[in-house]
Structure 1
């Protein structure tokens, strides 16, 4: 894999006109997605006294947010961020406030709580896909675009680490439902600031590609995103089971998972700081394969310290894999479907994350733990194989990707 370091640095991305303001506003709004899950879980559990109800409510909220994301993203492409995101953010904030009011005290009516959560999830603005599509318009120097995507991915990773910590501090002084109100405020205020940025694009032309909504050639990035989500969703349970099997204190588990996040952040920054000569699709498969092999090997770790090191190594492939998936989706989508393309990748990651934990929970205790790690890593390997297969190329072509254009793009990227 031939590479060489490129200049300028990440600072060059933030020096792009209007980038700091636009990216900063987007991060404020996206922090809501780092705080809302824990806030909803804690407040619904406290209000209903039932873990089963809180789990069902979270499933409704997450399912509506994830599976309707491509539809919401298509509205952003069709009408432009200003006209599409503000109504979504207003509705999202309104339904979150209703959910907070319902769960402020115990005895909340379950059907109303579930309805408010589902409606809030259905309206969640697709801020991540919109920001990633906007980077392509803000950054005129195309060599900076991978850095912008890597910076975006690492920042998002930090949001999902800091968000729960922020809620944890808040609930020490106020009811858990206050975390839901905070999430509503962050999203609404951040979105308002985001859509008023000077370089915000208007409606894009209606796509005329052969694929759904003009989104073309998405099978490789969506396959890898799903595989990465499936692999990572069971890691928490696997690490917890590893610690319990060897009689380690469960308080050490967050440090192991922190190593995974730290590795991802470092890997994302390094990935963006390198000018790759190999095509994005090849890198995508290699990153996914590297993640799968490392997770599979982690199950053979003799102790928790070795496992921690293995998790850090595995994390180094996460952000590069997802960043490359988003980059490839942006490259292959038609001009009028950039946001929708990123939303499909985002939805794939989250859909994989939703299903993997359930399967992992059923397997632990029924087969050796090392085999469970191997199966978790195997999903990423299968995804890498699917993304790199001839069948994948055929499917992408069937969706409307021009094989000649793909060859030209690959040659240019070398």
Structure 2
């Protein structure tokens, strides 16, 4: 069970000796985590005129991120973060260049999608490595929970702020600016993080359960946390396509990015307050309750008839963003087998990213055939169904349960 977190706990965590450099560099490396995919989608949409094609290419990039997150995180658990991040940063620079060249040349959709997948696969996994540092910098307790909460808050701010920046940058004379800016930011931040003493001194976990190809994912509790993260990602994916489409439909296409940024305002404020008094207290009840509540708020986005009304509805929906991501992060202490900290968080990132890929691709079809309100309603229904699945699996996260590898449940 997680501790109640105070502002003093956040201060204690962020002032921990050795934390400043990785905190700052990881912020820069994580800023584009959701920016590159949406920037790519908006770039392709501008060039092709189709949300469906753009959603497919963006989904390819997100699937690449999902696969790369687990593979890279498992490698980091074995050899540390510095060498993998150096290699992947170089790969990201090359593949970003290749994708842009293909878009400008009018390459077939299949080529753009495959290159998008490779681009996503190469993105350095700063977030899982950053979270893993805290288990060595801080002992178990409220300060470490505050550090995990900080990781979740910053992660979700960037999941919302990044798309907002992408929406603004696509309005510039060259619509590919957001893809270049996002990749450059990620490369610089990743290289900086890899060079910090804390990252270079992160001791690899060479012993402990491995669990074959699935690794940490074989633990029943890990699959439950991943399901919660998947549901969250699906809803975010629907919103990230439905909101810009609503702006286009209203005759204000450049407002899409600003509207998405509204989510981050209440996300941060309510996220900090929620961390002080989380509800429901038991984690096995908290995950389904938060996902169900968020599904309902996303469905309400179908109601407003104006962009101002949509903005207010987005502010309301933002209240349940950070509480979910914080719960996912803290739940790993219950669910993840020992020695798999980086990989376990990689699975969370993978689940969120895959969910976003599904949400974006399905939403892209729905907004073209039936309009954004239908997409928001479908998102709410899907979220509610996944919350029901979490409820059925709640027993895998009971506080008395020891994280263990298993092949059943």
Query: Shorter-chain TM-score category?
Result: 0.7 to 0.9
Q: Quick one: distance in 2 between partners of 1:372 and 1:109? A: 27
Asked if structure 2 preserves the Cα contact closer than 8 Å seen for 1:214 and 1:336, the reply is no
Indicate which of 228, 243, 250 corresponds to 1:224: 228
Contact 2:243 2:372 in 1 (8 A): no
- CA 1:14–1:298 in structure 2 vs 1: closer, same or farther (change >3 Å)? same
For 1:158-307, list aligned pairs within 5 A: 158-163=157-162, 175-176=174-175, 179-200=178-199, 201-208=202-209, 212-215=214-217, 216=219, 217-235=221-239, 256-274=259-277, 278-297=281-300, 299=302
- Measured against aligned partners, the alpha-carbon deviations of 1:67-111 in whole angstroms (never above 9, x if no partner) come to 3321221111122112322222222223224445x3596566888
User: What does the per-residue CA deviation read over 1:107-133, in whole Å, with 9 as the maximum and x for residues that have no partner?
Assistant: 668887665543332222111122122
SS of 2:16's partner is: coil
Check 1:402–1:78 CA distance in 2 against 1; reply closer, same or farther (3 A cut).
farther
Match of 1:387 among 379, 386, 390: 390
Gaps of 5+ in 1: 407-414
| 2:58 paired residue number | 58
Q: Note if 1:90 corresponds to 2:87.
A: no
Q: Secondary structure at the match of 2:139?
A: coil
Q: Tell me the distance in 1 between the aligned counterparts of 2:251 and 2:280.
A: 44
Contact 2:3 2:141 in 1 (8 A): no
- How far, CA to CA, are the matches of 2:4 and 2:269 in structure 1? 17
Tell me if structure 1 keeps the 8 A contact 2:59–2:361.
no
| Aligned-residue offset at 1:362 | 5.1
Tell which structure's C-alpha radius of gyration is larger: 1
1:122-172 CA distance string (max 9 Å, x none): 222111122122233223352023322332233233434554565677778
Distance 1:111 1:367 in 2: 25
Q: CA RMSD in A?
A: 4.1
Q: Give the match's secondary structure for 1:204.
A: coil
Cα–Cα, structure 1 residues 256 and 27, in superposed 2: closer, same or farther, change >3 Å?
A: closer
State the shift of 1:321 in Å.
Answer: 1.0
Cα shift at 1:343: 1.4
**Scaled by the length of structure 1, what TM-score is found?**
0.77
Structure 2 length-normalised TM:
0.78
* Distance in 1 (alpha carbons) for counterparts of 2:49 and 2:254: 25
